[in-house]
Structure 1
Amino acid sequence: MYKEERLPQNAKEGILFLLIISIISVNTIAPIIMGLERGFSKENYLETLKIIPFMWIIVVLLVRLVAGPLVGKVIPKFAGQTDGFNARVLLNTLLNVTVLSVLLTIIGTWVGTKQISLEPFQNFFHSWFRNFGVAFWIELLIAQPIARFAMKKIHARQASQERV
């Protein structure tokens, strides 16, 4: 069976792939959303940096325990056998970002305000559409391509070592 060189081939590569995407995502999406929410300032950015480690752990857990399994069950219902790599990546990104943005619109507000309240539910649609848009484009244009490029380089290096 053909193995896609732009995707992880084993658990170790899967962890690296997840780390690359999650670190890029949390360090770009969170500051942009906080800037849009509270204004772009040095003070707001420094506040965001304080919550990023917690958000990163939450994101990784949500990807592994919720979004990954859920999207894994849904994708076969929409993706056809003849769909190409780019179509599958786009669908996967769309579904993952949808699940994660719904959950993180709520959880992120709680973490950012350091309290569990009804606020994320009261402002959900306004916040979610914005959060989804930011996250989708960061994932599609920055995080995913960088992670796939890293996998491609790793596999190219492995292939050149096997030839020697």
Structure 2
Amino acid sequence: MTTNERESLVTELTKSAIPGWAILVVRLNRVVAERLGVAETDVQCLHVLDRHGPATPGTLAKHVKLTTGSASRMIDRLVAAGCVRRVADPGDRRRVLIEPTQEGIDRVGEAYAGLVARTRDDLAGFGDDELATVLRFLRTAELSTAAEVERLQAAPGRT
């Protein structure tokens, strides 16, 4: 591959394919939130709980970048929707942990089942080395995206 061909591919990825996909993921999460009867940030909270396990309200607030008051309202919505419950922290009974309910796990799983199935079908055509490359890219992109979120949030004013 020539330098120009490579640059063309990188440009297509960064200016078209990835932003287009990211916008669709945001739209999908909005639809999922509507189906669950919660806000989009609430869906992010459910992903955090799925990925990291039960957490304190303060920890959840940090993960989804909410104030503690907004996180409390988020948790109230998720409890009302049957997606999470408050439980005593077994390590410190004075603290409360938020954990997903089986109903919440099932509902989220059902909401994303179509995408999971489609993605598995899409990936079936990839070889082992290609899958490893896709995974490496996504993990790297996740770290870069998190770093950019932090940079923008720390920067004064508008960009």
Q: TM-score, normalised by structure 1?
A: 0.36
Give 1 or 2 for the bigger CA radius of gyration: 2
- Whose strand fraction is larger, Structure 1's or Structure 2's? 2
Q: TM-score, normalised by structure 2?
A: 0.36
Q: Considering Cα pairs closer than 8 Å and 6+ residues apart, tell me whether 1 or 2 has the greater RCO.
A: 1
